[in-house]
Amino acid sequence: MTQSTILIKNGKIVDSTNRLDCHDSIIIENGKITIIGDIPNTFTADQTIDATDCIISPGFIDLATHLPEPGMEQKGTILSETRAAVAGGFTHICCTPDLDPVIDTAAVVNFIHDKALQADSCHVYPIGALTKKLAGEQLSDLFALKEAKVIALTNLRKPFTSNQILHSALAYAATHDLLVMLHPEDSALANQGCVHDGKMSTFLGLTGIPSIAETVALARDLILVKETGIRAHFSQISTARSVEMIAQAKQQGLPVTADVAMQQLLFTEEDINHFDTNFHLSPPVRAIEDRDALLHGINTGIIDAICSNHRPHEWSAKNIPFAASAKGMSTLETILPSLVKLTLDDKIDLNTLLTCLTHGPAGIIGKTSGIKIGNLANLCIFNPTLSWNYSAKNSFSQGKNSPFLNQHLTGRVTHTLVDGKTVYAL
């Protein structure tokens, strides 16, 4: 922790949960926010950040980052991807367990914690595997994982060998008051598809993943959540019907939350037009009606958070025919400008967007966040009108698999502070 003082001035503080929407200065001492308000001109700080034209937001929190280390360092490392995270305004990221080895033992959790400390960028919260090797057969040692401080448990989209195993996993996780992240997908219905089963799958002859692959699994999961009382977070829902089902579950008082990945808010199946492998995604981007329903879900609070579903890949994993290419998009560094575009198009307002990147995910994982006196200074400062070119040269992520590569974007993170330390400055 730094012992210095930082003054952030001339910026606009936006933190809806703490009812802040004002031009004020912030002083950070010993890592913590100590003053929000008018600062006398005579005040001198060790470091001054001039945030003219910028918005000061709580740091972004991601619920689903695929960190490729350990095991897939050709795609990226904890160092490279946490640097990408802070360049994108993230102060906390939750990393998924689909690594080699899988995060199913305390040793892997500790390895990631150690590497993240060395990288010295943002906080990394590992998500443990519900079943050993994510094979869906045998429960991981969930209590040991809890002791090692995993933030949640998940089996991602890997199927359980039976509903009995899934039921047991949820009941046992509830015993230890763990949070479970469910990615509903019936693997048989998903049929090893690579795009939404709709217009483009028909035109391009690509195998489709039907919407019912998600909704059938979601219906089953919701019944089991009610049965077991598990705290369940549904990650990366992608269909209009899923939004309705989550809304109904919340109305019934089930302990559920949900997020959507940024890809599902920005793109639709139409974008696959040229067999562009950047759009080989899991879950797939679906029809326009689905995208609109997901935006509606964000605007009405049915969906609590937006996640990155960041998956960096090496060049050769994406430069092969569509179905054979690796799934995923590198997103951490472009999430802010791409979503700012949605605010300019009046699809979503800025406050809602920022809530879905900050307080929304914080609430799900039980962390406090926000710009408040006494809180550690985890902040993202961004200029919403700054135009820039996202390129292989200025990107930190090892994965260049982004449709935004070499595109002009509007809105850029200028500073990221983690626990009162400036870890990224433009």
Pair 194, 217: CB distance under 8 Å: no
Q: Which is nearer to another protein, 141 or 292 (CB)?
A: 292
CB of 284 to another protein, least distance (A): 13
Structure tokens at 413: 């993170």
CB of 207 to another protein, least distance (A): 8
The reply on whether position 289 binds another protein by CB under 8 A is no
Least distance in angstroms from the C-beta of 32 to another protein: 51
Asked whether position 322 contacts another protein by CB under 8 A, the answer is yes
Selected range binding another protein among 56-64, 248-256, 258-266, 322-330, rule: CB under 8 A: 322-330
Residue 83 sits at the vertex; the CA angle it makes with 80 and 89, to the nearest 5 degrees, is 145
Which residue of 40, 205, 253, 374 would you call a contact of another protein, by CB under 8 A?
A: 205
Q: How far is the CB of 321 from another protein (least distance, A)?
A: 4
Torsion-angle region of 26 (φ positive above 0: left; ψ -120 to 50: alpha; else: beta): beta
Distance CA 284, CA 294 (A): 14
Cis check: omega of the bond before 283, within 30 degrees of 0? yes
Shortest spacing between CB 47 and another protein, in angstroms: 46
Backbone dihedral region for residue 417 (phi beyond 0: left; psi -120 to 50: alpha; all else: beta): beta
Q: Applying CB under 8 A, does 406 fall inside the site for another protein?
A: no
User: Helix, strand or coil for residue 71?
Assistant: coil
Q: Does residue 210 interact with another protein by CB under 8 A?
A: yes
Q: Interhelix angle for 240-251 vs 288-299, to 10°?
A: 30
229-288 residues near another protein, rule: CB under 8 A: 273-275
- Sorted by sequence, the CB contacts under 8 Å of residue 233 that are 6+ apart come out as 63, 152, 179, 180, 181, 182, 256, 257, 258, 259, 364
8 A C-beta contact, residue 423 and residue 396: no
Using the minimum distance from each CB to another protein, give the nearer residue, 184 or 208.
208
> By CB under 8 A, which span of 52-60, 70-78, 171-179, 315-323 interacts with another protein?
315-323
Q: Which stretch binds another protein (CB under 8 A): 46-54, 158-166, 202-210, 408-416?
A: 202-210
Closest contact distance (angstroms) between CB of 319 and another protein is 6
276 backbone dihedrals φ, ψ, rounded to 5°: -75, 115
Q: Which is nearer to another protein, 205 or 253 (CB)?
A: 205
- Whether the bond between 403 and the residue before it is cis, its omega within 30 degrees of 0, is no
What binding mask, one character per residue, do residues 168-197 give for another protein by CB under 8 A, x or -? Answer: -----------------------------x
**Residue 321 makes contact with another protein by CB under 8 A:** yes
Q: Which of 202, 248, 391, 394: binder of another protein (CB under 8 A)?
A: 202
Closest by CA to 79, choosing from 385, 423, 425, is 423
**Amino acid making up residue 100:** D
Question: Does residue 316 bind another protein (CB under 8 A)?
Answer: yes
Instruction: Classify residue 273 as exposed, middle or buried by CB count within 10 Å of its CB (0-12, 13-18, 19+).
Output: exposed
Residue selected from 50, 147, 163, 203 as contacting another protein according to rule CB under 8 A: 203
Strands (E), 143-194: 152-154, 179-182
Q: Residue 324 interacts with another protein (CB under 8 A)?
A: yes
Q: Assess 320 for contact with another protein (CB under 8 A).
A: yes
Is residue 206 within the footprint of another protein (CB under 8 A)? yes
Contacting residues toward another protein, per CB under 8 A = 197-199, 201-208, 210, 273-275, 316, 319-324
